Structure 1
């Protein structure tokens, strides 16, 4: 599956830790950054794949599960560390669920928003893999 868990550099300090995300960490030019928060209990986010966009997901606070599918294999990854990111390349279906209370999901994207880049129907996604 075309995903990768990455370590985000952490500078430890008694006053509080600091992590920095630059081009070298995510391996793509950063064109958009957004975050999900106040996700109600039981709600799900995602439910799509991208044709070209690559993303890095980070649990800045709390935890959530990312269910990934490449058309052949399904895998679930729990994100719960602010110094760990999940790189998701194009062509991977993703669903985010089981958000803990107060969780924040940061998304760093390789492209600006373009609706035409989204595949929002799972059956259409599967058909695109054949």
Structure 2
């Protein structure tokens, strides 16, 4: 599995504007059980700093841009999220950090499961140990 996996969403529309439709188990590779978005992130503030044991996510910058750091314990990658027609698939056991948010950034996240604190790994060293198992 590649650490960086993208999914493209066709933009539908006409002279009035554009529309992107996201559907679970179609354009999103899992059933969507939770949706949230980040906005109004202050300059020089970073977010994330955790991994999930099993949760799968797709992150989409619906406006603006931000940088995403991904780390699976053996490989690291940094990518820009800057398109409302492209989503970043984040599998379980991937450490993530978001930074360099533009002032207008709205980062939408679609999740495969409901919120469950026990699925989080919030300490990087604990994550590295769990990823090596």
Q: TM-score normalised to the size of structure 2?
A: 0.95
What is the RMSD of the two structures over their aligned residues, measured on CA atoms?
0.9
State whether structure 2 residue 101 is matched by structure 1 residue 99: yes
Measure, in 1, the Cα distance between the counterparts of 2:111 and 2:4: 14
Matches within 5 A, 1:1-130: 1-23=2-24, 24-130=26-132
1:2 deviates by 3.9
Task: Count residues with an aligned counterpart.
Answer: 130
Describe the superposition over 1:80-115 as per-residue Cα deviations: whole angstroms up to 9, x where unpaired: 000100010101000000000111000000000000
Residues in 2 aligned to 1:3 and 1:77: alpha-carbon distance in whole angstroms:
8
SS at match of 2:27: helix
Where does structure 1 differ by over 4 angstroms across 4 or more consecutive aligned residues? none
**How many Å apart are 1:12 and its aligned residue?**
2.9
> Structure 1, residues 40-89: CA drift from partner, whole Å, max 9, x if none?
00001111000010000000110000000010111001010001000101
Task: Work out whether residues 67 and 95 of structure 1, in 8 Å CA contact, stay in contact via their aligned partners in 2.
Answer: yes
**C-alpha distance in 2 between matches for 1:13 and 1:95:** 36
Give, in angstroms, the shift of residue 129 of structure 1.
1.6
1:3 Cα deviation from its structure 2 partner: 3.9
